[in-house]
């Protein structure tokens, strides 16, 4: 009696999350919604490292501190050990450390900024000025600006007062569970950028799409969390097809 050949395992996505926990949960919902699946078994295997004790990324970057790095590296190693085949980080500001994480692993580490700008271009909005709502650190690190500039798109960002009183305050409100408060603040900030000439918006902190879900603005808004989820689905479909193409045939009885 011949033993059946064990199928190759499906590629697993590793999620380096917890930054913050609600943003990670939002990413997972969007990942599931973006996956073309008709049953449980057709969804991708995902392993989530949801550890919120990573020091605040924005505070650290602005202070010149590397405090998040050992936590991010530990999460990466945990996901590698769990057998993940690619890594996603549903936190914009954590991408300050993206290049270093890439150098520490042979796994692809999908980039939320690249996914979001690709989504902006694919939608053919014709946007020439894009307003960015993000943490102060994400803005200072130019996680989006350089990619936009490479596509002849100007970035519009809040002035210092608006950033502090509305954007940063709203991000803190989401992390504290005060979604309604954040929605009011971010709606005001978004409309301020539109008034400055933004013909599209990037909701470039993973807390921001949570607060602005269902809000109608006067310009199209790109959700980088959703863009990253869709990029992960694209990666997984390609990896699954490659795995299926190389799978051994089952032994004949």
Cα separation of 167 and 177, whole Å? 15
**Is residue 167 located within the same domain as residue 207?**
yes
Indicate which residue of 205, 211, 229, 239 is catalytic: 205
- pLDDT per residue over 232-249, tens digit each? 999 999 988 888 887 665
Active site (annotated) includes residue 84 = no
Is residue 194 domain-resident? yes
Catalytic residue, from 44, 54, 84, 91: name it: 91
Domain count across the chain: 2
Tokens representing 153 are 């798109």
Residues 80 and 125 in one domain: no
Contact 90, 112 (CB under 8 A): yes
Q: Give yes or no: residues 219 and 241 share one domain.
A: no
pLDDT digits (tens, 9 = 90+) for 83-136: 999 999 999 999 999 999 999 999 999 999 999 999 999 986 788 999 999 999
Mark whether 61 and 36 lie in a shared domain: yes
205 is catalytic: yes
49 and 14 Cβ atoms separated by less than 8 Å: yes
Query: Based on the domain organization, do 121 and 211 belong to the same domain?
Result: yes
Whether residue 117 sits in one domain with residue 166: yes
Range of the domain at 170: 113-224
Global pTM reads 0.92
Whether residue 253 lies inside any domain: the answer is no
């Amino acid at each position: 009696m011949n033993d059946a050949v064990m199928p190759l395992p499906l590629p697993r996505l590793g999620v380096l999350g917890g930054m913050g926990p609600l943003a990670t949960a939002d990413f997972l919902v969007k990942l599931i919604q973006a996956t073309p699946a008709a049953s449980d078994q057709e969804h991708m295997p995902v392993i989530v490292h949801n550890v919120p004790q990573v020091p605040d990324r924005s505070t650290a970057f602005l202070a010149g501190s590397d405090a998040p790095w050992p936590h991010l590296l530990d999460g990466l190693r945990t996901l590698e050990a769990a057998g993940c085949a690619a890594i996603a980080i549903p936190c914009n500001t954590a991408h300050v450390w993206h290049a270093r994480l890439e150098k520490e692993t042979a796994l692809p580490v999908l980039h939320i900024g690249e996914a979001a700008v690709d989504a902006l271009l694919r939608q053919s909005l014709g946007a020439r000025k894009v307003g960015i709502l993000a943490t102060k650190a994400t803005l200072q690190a130019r996680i989006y600006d350089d990619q936009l500039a490479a596509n002849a798109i100007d970035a519009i960002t809040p002035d210092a007062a608006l950033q502090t009183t509305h954007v940063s305050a709203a991000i803190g409100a989401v992390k504290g569970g005060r979604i309604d408060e954040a929605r009011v603040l971010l709606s005001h900030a978004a409309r301020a950028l539109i008034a400055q000439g933004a013909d599209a918006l990037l909701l470039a902190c993973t807390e921001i799409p949570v607060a602005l879900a269902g809000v109608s603005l006067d310009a199209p808004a790109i959700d980088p969390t959703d863009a990253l989820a869709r990029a992960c689905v694209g990666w997984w479909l390609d990896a699954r097809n490659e795995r299926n193409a190389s799978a051994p045939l089952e032994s004949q009885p």
